[in-house]
Amino acid sequence: MKLWDFNLRHLRAIALIAEFGSMSRAAQGVNLTQPAITQALARTEAILGTTLFERRHDGMVPTPAADLLVPRIVAALEHIGSHRVTMARLRALLALADAGSYQGASLETGLSIPSLHRAIKDLSVSLRRPLAVRRSNAVFLTDGGMIVARGFRLARIELEAGLAELEALRGNEVRRIVIGAMPLSRARVLPAAVARFLQRHPLVRIAIAEGSRAELVEPLRNGTLDLMVGALRQPLLEGDLEQQALFADEPVIVARAGHPLCAKALGGAGDLAELARYAWVMPGPGAPLRDMWVAMFEEAGMDPPPVRVESGSVMTIRQLLIASDFLTLLSRDQIAVELQADWLAVVDDLPARFRREIGVTTRASWRPTSVQAEFLADLRAVAAGE
């Protein structure tokens, strides 16, 4: 069962059958005859290998399979946004967007280059906007093309999730969860939640993409990632995303074991003049940890000391600290092993008001599958210490 075997018009008809409970009313909604919509339903059920509706004298009643699939169809159609889009046109634009050339799209899909050209041209005409332009020997999506491609990607994700849910209903587990992990989440919460979840669902596949927020946010918005775990942004600038907090983290000032500052009693809030004498390694501007660090000095009327190295990699930061007198801010969870091994040391705590919210970021339109919803519950439970 492949996504591209389905007909978008037929899927629209199925959504309308579920909405109206009537074949005749659904036929009017997609401008098909009743025999044609009957054939469309039969063809789709044959591809799925399952029945979507019970035919009764008082109408069409959705089966459990339809209850899983229809909401995904409706969400996908909302992302597509036009009745003029066919599955072939959707596939062609996504292949071109991913491959960056018609030749690459042809190799990826097995479709001929002329058929891809024709599909993109027909889609541009039907949507009344140019979607791709050629510059020299390369093909680029226009701004409008990138917007359409993002909607198509999200539609594909919805339909694939629906098909995976149907497979699970038949006892064939093919569902997966793709997680974007920022540095702090990898230290404790995420591994514990994954282990907890897999005890109940050992056949669900989990993929974890590690990176900074800047590296992960676009894959999340495009549907490549299901969720992202790490420091939240306040305010959240992307209107198509949502955040939910898991716990508050209070970073500490960290240096190598034996650092000159380790022998000094700096006091509760730290002696900022002493701290400013040293160079720091910090994440780039815009990261919550960096903003917190800047605010700590500026509130005391001081310029922040120089950041000699910008990095969000705990591994890179650890090696720099061990080999120098650099300072940084990190969570205790991120350096638990290094503290225990006496490689690094906590120089001082930050004032209590300096803390960051760690949580989950998702697309505002995201509809988690049942297993994705369970994983989110595990994340919350682990963060709460349950």
> Would strands 132-135 and 138-141 be described as parallel, antiparallel, or unpaired?
antiparallel
| Tokens standing for residue 347 | 């120089």
> What span, in angstroms and rounded, lies between the C-alpha atoms of 45 and 36?
14
pLDDT more than 70, % of the chain: 98
pLDDT in tens, 91-120: 999 999 999 889 999 998 999 999 999 999
> What span, in angstroms and rounded, lies between the C-alpha atoms of 47 and 18?
18
Residue 121's pLDDT is 94
> Would strands 307-310 and 241-249 be described as parallel, antiparallel, or unpaired?
unpaired
Please give the mean pLDDT across all residues of the chain: 91
Give the mean model confidence (pLDDT) for residues 278-287: 90
| CA 158 and chain centroid, separation | 13
Residue 149's pLDDT is 95
pLDDT more than 90, % of the chain: 67
Residue 265's pLDDT is 59
pLDDT in tens, 57-75: 888 999 999 999 999 999 9
Give the mean model confidence (pLDDT) for residues 197-225: 94
Over the range 153-191, which residues count as b (16 or more CB within 10 Å of their CB) and which as e? bbbbbbbbbbbbbbbbeeeeeebbbbbbbbbbbbbbbbe
Residue 58's pLDDT is 80
Give the mean model confidence (pLDDT) for residues 161-189: 90
The answer to whether the CB of 237 falls within 8 A of the CB of 361 is: no
Residue 268's pLDDT is 41
Which residues lie across from 330 on neighbouring strands?
252
pTM reported for the whole predicted model: 0.82
Does 52 score more than 90 pLDDT? yes
Give the mean model confidence (pLDDT) for residues 278-294: 90
Q: Pick the range with the lowest mean pLDDT from 158-172, 301-315, 362-376.
A: 301-315
Residue 34's pLDDT is 87
Who wins on pLDDT, 289 or 157?
157
Residue 269's pLDDT is 43
Does 267 score more than 70 pLDDT? no
Helix, strand, coil abundance in the chain, percent, nearest 5: 50, 20, 30
Region of 222 please: left (phi>0), alpha (psi -120 to 50) or beta. Answer: alpha
Give the mean model confidence (pLDDT) for residues 18-44: 90
pLDDT in tens, 227-246: 999 989 888 989 999 999 99
Give the mean model confidence (pLDDT) for residues 72-97: 95
- Burial class from Cβ neighbours inside 10 Å (0-12, 13-18, 19+) for residue 344 reads buried
Give the mean model confidence (pLDDT) for residues 314-332: 92
pLDDT in tens, 357-377: 899 999 999 999 999 999 999
The answer to whether the CB of 341 falls within 8 A of the CB of 295 is: no
Who wins on pLDDT, 351 or 42?
42
Does 38 score more than 60 pLDDT? yes
